[in-house]
Amino acid sequence: PPDLCPAHPGVFQEMFKSECHFLNGTEKVWYVQRYIYNREQYVHFDSDVGHFVGDTPYGEKVARYWNSDPNWMEYRRAAVDRHCRHNYELSTPFVVER
């Protein structure tokens, strides 16, 4: 049987994580999306910056490619309203007002 150690060279993990940050309710809202490969963040989007930023040399290439697509960028920028503010309104009665 193969070595099932977590550091096995044949195991790869790619993931992304979306975060919404709120200050004073929805007065100040920003959206961050992080892309991670094998526990290393290589590129991220921050709605305050307004574009993707590369965190590694590979991530810089990915960021340039994604930033060059105006439709993709508009979709990412709209995530603050589509994802964060929308979910805040849905969860407020259950989380904030208790």
pTM of the model: 0.77
Tens place of pLDDT per residue across the chain (98 aa): 455 555 556 668 899 999 988 888 777 889 999 999 998 999 999 999 999 999 999 999 999 999 999 999 999 999 888 888 887 777 776 776 65
Question: Which pLDDT score, from 0 to 100, does residue 84 have?
Answer: 84
Return the H-helix or E-strand segment holding 88. helix 86-95
21 φ, ψ (degrees, to nearest 5): -115, 135
Return the H-helix or E-strand segment holding 46. strand 40-46
Q: CA 73, CA 42: separation in Å to the nearest integer?
A: 18
All domains of the chain, ordered by start, with CATH? 14-96 (3.10.320.10)
Q: How far is CA 96 from the centre of its chain?
A: 23
Question: Which pLDDT score, from 0 to 100, does residue 88 have?
Answer: 74
